[in-house]
Structures are given as C-alpha cells and as structure tokens.
Amino acid sequence: MEKKKGNIGTESVISIKNLEKSFGLLHVLRGIDLELKQGENLVVLGRSGTGKSVLIKIISGLLKPDTGTVNVLGQYVDKIDNRELQKLRLKIGFSFQNSALYDSMTVRENLEFPLVRNSSHLTRKEVDAAVEDVLDGVGLLQTINQMPSELSGGQRKRIGIARTLILRPEIMLYDEPTAGLDPITCIDINNLINEVQERYNTSSIIITHDLTCAKSVGDRVMMLLDGKFARQGTFEEVFKTDDERVKTFYNYNFTE
C-alpha cells in the first residue's frame, strides 16, 4: 500500500529544541531540533547506536534530556510532574523494537492491560469489544487467546502496535518496526503503519535504518549522523547529496 500524501496539519504536536543527551563520556545527541506536524509520518534514519531510540525514549519521558526542551502536545515532558506525565502518555503510543509483549499474559490480557487500568469505568463487554476491534484492525483476531511465545515475529509486532492503539493515541512512536522481519512481513508492517495513520489520524515518528520502510511510510525523512540531523526532506531529497556518509547508507541498503 502506497503512502497517501496530504492531511498534514500546520500545528506542531512535537517540538524539540537543542536537545542533548550523554551517557557518561558518550555524547549521543548533540543539539537536536525537530518538529512533528499533526498527521505527519516522520522517519528518523540513522545507523545503529546513533541515538535514534534514545530520542523517542526522551519524547515519551522514559529518559531525561541533559539540555534542551521537548514539547509534546503543548507540555514540556521533562518539566511536568509524574501525574501529568502519566496523563500525557495516554496520548502517546510506543511500539517497541522487540514488541515488549507481557510474556505471562495472553494476547487478550496484553491488550486489556492498558485499557482496564486507564479506563476503569468500562464494562466487560466494552473492554472485549475494544480488544476485538483493535485486533481485527491489525488482522490478528484469531490469536486472541494465544500466548506471545506462540506468535511469529511479525505477529508480535502487530500485537504490540495494537496494544498501543487501544488507548487511541494522538502520537505514535515506532522503534525499528521492521527490524528482524522478512521482506514480505516488512511490507505488511509498512502498510499497517500507513493504515494506522489514516484510520486513527495519528502523527508518527518512525525510527528505522530500513530505507524501504522509510520510503514507504515517511512523509518526511530526517537523517541522524554523529548525534545531529545531517539531512532532512522527502526521501529523494535526503539522498540527493554528495555526502559520502549518506551515500554509503543508501548504497548499502539498495545496491549491495
């Protein structure tokens, strides 16, 4: 499924200014500026270990920035208290690289978990309906009573995405959504990301080093090199450059 362009608003849902983050002597992010518009799919490309995952963990409040500001839906994530952060997190969906499904729970319980805990007023019927609806949306209704260990990698990714969608987030953060999957499943996941954006009108940041994924889902691409965004624009614009570091990245993905 090709990405349909359009429906991108002018309002920023995420605004990051001069973000820096170090771990000990390792300076990972060195002055990041980023704007995510309403309804936009933004792809952050970069090699492994360049701090892509750190960036979305800071956005979701799992990590604190050293300097800079991170504004998500009008709130500065590093300045609000825990209660406000919890409320804000209900509007942010986070799809983890390894899906992070709860091993000891069935698919149904995995999906119910965030919903039941954050919407205590819902009846059993409403919870069941919500779980079935979101599972149907990712095409895996038949796995509802299975354990995560019984699912394939692609199914786990889809269930992971479904678990975040059940809270109807405004922003989706995908951490390496196609890592470790076969090419056909990668296409399925890319299609799912586009479907999610259209169906739920989410704004998304997709962290990846997979250029096929970047091309299929990205309205805009930003390339992270040495802790800074070196290039940004459409997929074609980003790779129309003489920068050897960028060209190497492209060649490795498409010609080797």
Which 5-44 positions form the footprint of another protein (CB under 8 A)? 25
Radius of gyration of the CA atoms of the chain, in A: 18
Contact 91, 170 (CB under 8 A): yes
Among 7, 98, 145, 248, interactor with another protein by CB under 8 A: 98
CB of 24 to another protein, least distance (A): 9
248 belongs to the binding site for another protein (CB under 8 A)? no
Among 2, 10, 81, 103, interactor with another protein by CB under 8 A: 103
The whole-angstrom separation of Cα 164 and Cα 168 is: 8
Indicate the SS3 state at residue 75.
strand
Among 1, 8, 73, 90, interactor with another protein by CB under 8 A: 90
Contact 91, 83 (CB under 8 A): no
102 belongs to the binding site for another protein (CB under 8 A)? yes
**Interior angle at CA 193, CA 37 and CA 107, nearest 5:** 125
97 belongs to the binding site for another protein (CB under 8 A)? yes
Contact 44, 36 (CB under 8 A): no
CB of 165 to another protein, least distance (A): 11
Residue closer to another protein by CB (options 5, 83) is 83
CB of 96 to another protein, least distance (A): 5
Structure token digits, residue 58: 């800071």
CA 244 to centroid of chain Cα atoms: 28
73 belongs to the binding site for another protein (CB under 8 A)? no
Amino acid at 185: T
CB of 92 to another protein, least distance (A): 7
First to last CA, the chain: 25
Phi, psi of 105 (to 5 degrees): -115, 155
Using the rule CB under 8 A, give the single segment among 13-21, 33-41, 110-118, 129-137 that binds another protein.
110-118
Residue span 113-142 as binding mask against another protein, x where in contact by CB under 8 A, dash where not: xx--xx------------------------
Residue closer to another protein by CB (options 120, 123) is 120
Which 198-227 positions form the footprint of another protein (CB under 8 A)? none
87 belongs to the binding site for another protein (CB under 8 A)? yes
Phi, psi of 89 (to 5 degrees): -65, -25
CB of 125 to another protein, least distance (A): 20
Indicate the SS3 state at residue 12.
strand
Exposed (0-12), middle (13-18) or buried (19+): which is 144, by Cβ within 10 Å? middle
Q: Residues interacting with another protein, by CB under 8 A?
A: 25, 57, 60-62, 86-87, 89-90, 92, 94, 96-98, 100-104, 113-114, 117-118, 163-164, 167
